[in-house]
Chain A
């Protein structure tokens, strides 16, 4: 097996897993205060105040997340206030993010509002993210 094939093979399972698992969808009328632990995709169009652990997080246009987010993939189209720990982070054109974005791969679409810092981290940083580093957001 070539190195590339192995890399692809390694990358494929988590994506399939995320697809197979049902998507949790929080509509605009939903407000949650607390901790969300999810092993799949999570779409937030409402309000979440607290911590989110998930595979894939999409904060929709009318979504608002206040707190720390730990996810493999994060897409922000709405508002987010807090820290993001994501391997792949995308801030869409309509995004409004305040805080720190710890990332390995980041995309910021033209038009996105961002205030804060975007520290790059190596892959092993995200693999060992059991305990979040404390500090100011």
Chain B
């Protein structure tokens, strides 16, 4: 017998008992393998806990912030903010212009707000002009600046007007190819 297959006889004779004793214990191990709890990366956890973007109170941004989704600001921003729905928390400080569809201010803005819908809550501190189409000012809010209604000048309003006229033309049946 060669050196290479001398172990084969041992396994052949001695293994039946060993494999029989191992058999019952093996399957549970192999079954448990394919189903480990799904590994949750930090980002997956974060995405579940936050549906909106959050600038926490510990974060200070110097520069420009642009967002195509809802954003909650509790920190400090030195620069412009462009968002869709922007909520400025009571401890937040913004130095610059806030653009958006909806802006809810509970903190401090030193600059300008340009939005379709503006809400100044009782803790708001607004130094600068507010350009709006729809505004709500709660009792206690501080404003040092002008509130300017702006109808039809913002791109969003223009778009809604044009679509409204188009749909009206279609309804009248007078829509002619230009």
Q: Is B40 an interface residue (CB 8 A)?
A: no
With beta carbons under 8 angstroms apart, the residue of B42, B55, B57, B67 that contacts A31 is: B67
Complex interface bits, B51-68 against A, C-beta within 8 A gives 1, otherwise 0: 011111111111111111
The answer to whether the Cβ of B41 comes within 8 Å of any Cβ in the partner chain is yes
A29 to B69, Cβ gap below 8 A? yes
A43 touches B43 (CB 8 A): yes
Question: Does B104 have its Cβ within 8 Å of any Cβ on chain A?
Answer: no
Q: Are A39 and B50 in contact (CB under 8 A)?
A: no
Task: Add 16 more A-B contacts to A22-B58, A24-B59, A75-B42 (CB < 8 A).
Answer: A22-B74, A25-B46, A27-B50, A27-B52, A27-B69, A29-B69, A30-B66, A31-B65, A32-B63, A33-B64, A37-B61, A39-B58, A60-B43, A77-B41, A77-B43, A92-B41
Query: B: which residues have CB within 8 A of A?
Result: 41-43, 46-47, 50, 52-69, 71, 74-75, 79
Q: Which residues of B contact A35 (CB under 8 A)?
A: 61-63
Are B63 and A45 touching (Cβ within 8 A)?
A: no
Q: Is there an interface contact between B54 and A25, defined as CB atoms closer than 8 Å? A: yes
Residues in A with CB closer than 8 Å to B66 are 30-32
Instruction: List residues of chain A with CB under 8 Å of any chain B CB.
Output: 21-40, 42-43, 45-46, 50, 58, 60-61, 63, 75, 77, 92
How far in angstroms is the closest Cβ of chain A from B74?
A: 7
Determine the chain B residues whose CB is within 8 A of the CB of A32 once the complex forms: 61, 63-66
A-B contact pairs, 7 of them (CB 8 A): A22-B54, A24-B75, A29-B53, A30-B71, A35-B63, A38-B56, A40-B56
Whole-angstrom CA separation of A106 from B68 in the bound complex: 34
Residues in chain A near residue B75, CB distance under 8 A: 24
